[in-house]
Chain A
Amino acid sequence: MSTTTVDRKSIRNSVGPGPAFHRVLNSEFIKFRTLMSTLILLASTALVMVGFAALSAWGTGQFAEQVANDPEAAAAMAAQGGDLAVSIPTSGISFAQLILGSLGVLLMSSEFTTGMARSTFAAVPKRLSPFLAKLIVVMVSAFLLTAVSIYIAGLVSLPIVDNYDLKLDLGSSQSVKLLLVNSLYVAAVAAIGMALGTIVRNSAGGIMSLVGLLFVAPIAFQLIPGDFFKEANKYLPTSTISPLTAVEHVPETLEAWQAALVLGAWVVVPVALAMVLLKKRDV
C-alpha cells in the first residue's frame, strides 16, 4: 500500500462515456454472439430450413410426376393455382419459428435464471435500453437468418425441382414476397418469445407459453366447437402468414392489411407489457 496515492482523493465524478444506446446495443450484440448455445440454435435453424426445403422439393416433384399420369390429380392441382414449387423454400418455417422463438425466450429468461440481469441492470440502470437493444439484436438476427436460410433453401431446391421439370424462380415477386413475409414473421415470433421470457423470467415457462400460442392454440381452436373459436383462430399469429402471402384474397381469412395489423399487435402488446414489468419489478 502506498501513501503517495492519497493525493488522488479528489477522484473525479464519472468522467468518460456512459451507456448511450449504441453502446448498449454493441454490448447486447457481444452477449448474443458469445454464447455457444445461441450459435448452435442459429446453425440448426438454417440446417433444418434447408433440409426441409430439399425434402419438400423432392416430395413436390414426386407428386408432380404422379399428377402427370393422373388426370384427376392434375385437375385438383390446377384448381390450387398450379404453382406448387414457389412455397418450397419456406417449407421449414414452422421449425424456424419454434427454434428462433425459443431463442428469444432464452436470451431474456437466462438473464434472470443465471443472475446476469443483476450485472446488466447495474451497468445500465435505465432498464429499457438493454431490453430494446436486445430486442433489436434478436429481431434483426432472426430476420436475417430466416431470409438467408430461405434463399439458400431455394438454391438447394432448384436442381431437385429441375429434375422433375418443375419451375422455381427465386427472383419472382411471389418468391420475394414469401421470403420477406416469412422472415418478418419469424422476427415477430422471436420478439414475442423475448417478451414472454421477460414476463415469465423462466425458460421452460416462456417456451411452453410460446409453444402453446404457436402450436397448441391453433389446433385447440379448431377442435372447440362454436363460431367464437373459429373466428378467434383467424387472429392467432400463425394464421397471419397465409393472408399476408396469398396471391389473391382467400375467403374466410383476414385481408392482408388486417393480418399485418394483427401480427403487429401480437408483437407490440407483449413487448409493451414486458417493458412495463421490467421497469417496475425488482431484478
Chain B
Amino acid sequence: MIEAKGLTKVYGEKTAVGGVSFTVQAGRVTGFLGPNGAGKSTTMRMIMGLDSPTAGSVTVNGEPFAQHKAPLREIGALLDAKAVHTSRTAYNHLLAMAATHSIPKSRVHEVIEMTGLSDVAKKKVKGFSLGMGQRLGIAAALLGDPQTIILDEPVNGLDPEGVVWVRNLVKYLASEGRTVFLSSHLMSEMALTADHLIVIGRGKIIADAPIAEIITGKGQARTRVRTDQPERLMQLLAGTGVSVEVHERELLEVSGLDPRGIARTALDNQVMVYELTPLQASLEEAYMELTKDEVEYHSHITTGASAPAQAGGK
C-alpha cells in the first residue's frame, strides 16, 4: 500500500507536484494518468526516495521507503527505461543489483526468463531498443519479488506483443495481492489495464476513482450505429433521455439507450442495422474532459479531438 499525504515538490518557481494525497491499495492495478509534465514521474521518484518532497510525506506499507530494511524486496520500480550503465550487460546489471540484497543468481536468471531477455542478457545494454530497455527495467523491478511494484510508463516503446505482456503481467501481480502502481499518459492503455485510476494534471489530483466510475461519471455511454435508414431510425429512437447525432450519411451516434435497446427498436421496426458498437472512447473523452485545463503543453496543430500525444513522458 502506498500512501501520499500532501506530497509537494517545488523546483524553483515551478510547482511540479502540488500537495497531492492518495492511497494505492494492494490487490489491484492502480493507474496513474496524466498528460506529459503533470507530475507523474516526480511523484514516483518521491515514493522511491530519490527526490525529497518539499512538503508532505509518502509511505510504502506504512513506512517511508528509505526506512525499509530490505528496500528491493519491499518495492520494485521501473522509473526510467535506461536507469542502467549502458556499457554493462543486462545480466551483470541485474547481478550487481541483486548482490545488494543477496538475491541468488537463480532469481536473476528467473527474471531474465520472465521478461524474455534470455537472448540478449549477455549483451551490452547500449544496443538495446527502447522496448528491451523497458523489459530490463521491469526485470530489475521484479528482482526482489516485491510486495509493491511501481512502473513509470512501462509500455512506452514496447511492441504490441510487449504491451499485452505488460498488461497481463501487472494484472497477474495484482491478483497475487500485490500493490501495482502504473503510470501512463495513454488513456486507452489504462482502460485495458487498470482497475482504479488516479488522474493527475498540473500537479493536482483531478480524479481518484474506480475506472468504471470515471467512464460513467462523465457523459453517457454511446453507441455507434450504421443503418441504411438513418432518418427513420432517428425518429424511432427519439424519446426522453435519448439523443442522436448524425455523423455521416448512414452513421449515427446514440446516447441514452444501450445497444440492446437500439437493436430491439430496429428489429421491431424492420430497420436494418449493420453496425452496433458501444463506444469505449468515452473513457478517452472523460480523460480529455478532465485534463483539458491541465495540459501543460498544448499542441498548436490539432489533428482531432482524440489524438493524445504518443511521445514518452519524462
Query: B146-176, CB under 8 A of A: which get 1 and which 0?
Result: 1100000000000000000000100110011
Contact in complex: A5, B83 (CB < 8 Å): no
Query: B42 → chain A, closest Cβ, in Å?
Result: 9
Q: Which of A3, A116, A283 contacts B175 (CB 8 A)?
A: A3
* B204: Cβ under 8 A from any A Cβ: no
When distances are taken between beta carbons in the complex, the residues of chain B under 8 Å from A10 are 177
Whether B79 is near chain A, meaning CB under 8 Å from some CB there, is yes
Distance in angstroms between the alpha carbons of A155 and B268 in the assembled complex: 103
Q: What is the CA–CA distance of A274 and B297 in the complex, to the nearest angstrom?
A: 37
Contact mask for chain B residues 261-288; partner A; CB cutoff 8 A; 1 contact, 0 none:
0000000000000000000000000000
Given B73, B80, B100, which contacts A124 in the complex, CB threshold below 8 Å?
A: B100
A2, A34, A35, A111: which has the most chain B beta carbons within 10 Å? A34
Given contacts A110-B85, A111-B85, A114-B86, contact A18 B69 (CB under 8 A): yes
For B102, the closest partner residue in chain A by CB is A17
Quick check: A14 and B74 within 8 Å, CB to CB?
yes
Residue among A1, A9, A34, A123 with most chain B CB within 10 A: A123
Within 8 A of A (CB), among B36-59: 45, 48-52
Q: When chains A and B are docked, how far (Å) is the Cα of A283 from the Cα of B77?
A: 15
Contacts A3-B175, A14-B69, A19-B71 given; indicate if A27 touches B88 (C-beta within 8 A): no
Which residues, 27 to 65 on A, are CB-close (under 8 Å) to B?
A: 27-28, 30-31, 34-37
A31 touches B85 (CB 8 A): yes
Residues of B within 8 A of A37 (CB): 87
Alpha-carbon distance between A124 and B173 when the two chains are bound, in angstroms: 24
Judged by a CB distance under 8 angstroms, whether B84 is at the interface is: yes
| Residues of B with C-beta under 8 A to A12 | 147
- In the assembled complex, the Cα of A85 lies from the Cα of B172 at a distance in Å of 71
Picked from A27, A125, A282, the residue with its CB within 8 Å of the CB of B99 is A27
Q: Are A31 and B88 in contact (CB under 8 A)?
A: yes
Flag whether B101 is at the interface (Cβ < 8 A): yes
For the complex, what is the distance from the CA of A112 to the CA of B123, rounded to whole Å? 22
Q: What residues of chain A lie closer than 8 Å to B249, measured between beta carbons?
A: none
Cα distance A30–B98 when bound, in Å?
A: 10
- Given the complex, which residues of B lie within 8 Å of A68, measured CB to CB? none
B130 CB to closest chain A CB (Å) equals: 14
Nearest residue, chain A, Cβ from B178: A11
Q: Are B99 and A283 in contact, CB atoms less than 8 angstroms apart?
A: no
A9 partner residues in chain B, CB cutoff 8 A: 26-27, 176-177
Selecting from B89-97, B186-194, B219-227, B235-243, the interface stretch reads: B89-97
Nearest A residue to B174, CB-CB: A1
- CB nearest to A15 among chain B residues: B73
Selected from A5, A15, A30, A114, the residue in CB contact (under 8 A) with B84 is: A114
CA distance A121 to B50 in the complex (A): 7
Q: How many residues belonging to A are interface residues under a CB distance threshold of 8 Å?
A: 45
A192 to B115, CA, bound (A): 40
Tell me if A159 counts as interface (CB < 8 A to partner B): no
Interchain CB contact under 8 A, A119 and B175: no
Which residues of A lie under 8 Å from residue B52 when comparing CB positions? 282
B147 adjacent to A11 (CB under 8 Å): yes
CB contact between A13 and one of B72, B79, B80, B147 (< 8 Å): that residue:
B147
B70 is an interface residue with CB less than 8 A from chain A: yes
> Is B84 in contact with A19, judged by CB distance below 8 angstroms?
no
CA A114 to CA B61, docked complex, whole Å: 30
Please name all residues of chain A whose beta carbon is closer than 8 Å to the beta carbon of B51 when the two chains form the complex: 282-283
Q: Give the distance to chain B from A165, nearest Cβ to Cβ, in Å.
A: 49
CB distance from B76 to the nearest CB of A (A): 9
Whether B96 lies near A16 (C-beta < 8 A) is no
CB distance from A214 to the nearest CB of B (A): 26
Q: How close is A135's CB to chain B, nearest CB, in angstroms?
A: 16
Inter-chain contacts of B48 with A (CB < 8 A): 118, 122, 125
Known: A34-B96, A118-B80, A125-B66. A19 touches B101 (CB 8 A): yes
Of A5, A35, A117, the residue contacting B176 (CB under 8 A) is A5
Beyond contacts A11-B176, A16-B73: 10 other A-B pairs, Cβ-Cβ < 8 A, are: A1-B168, A1-B171, A11-B177, A23-B100, A27-B96, A30-B96, A115-B84, A122-B48, A125-B68, A283-B51
* A interface residues with partner B (beta carbon < 8 Å): 1-3, 5-6, 8-19, 23-24, 26-28, 30-31, 34-37, 110-111, 114-119, 121-126, 130, 282-283
A-B pairs with beta carbons under 8 Å apart, 24 shown: A1-B171, A5-B172, A5-B176, A6-B177, A9-B27, A9-B177, A10-B177, A12-B147, A13-B74, A14-B146, A14-B147, A15-B73, A18-B101, A23-B100, A24-B100, A26-B99, A34-B89, A114-B84, A115-B84, A118-B48, A118-B83, A119-B83, A121-B50, A122-B72
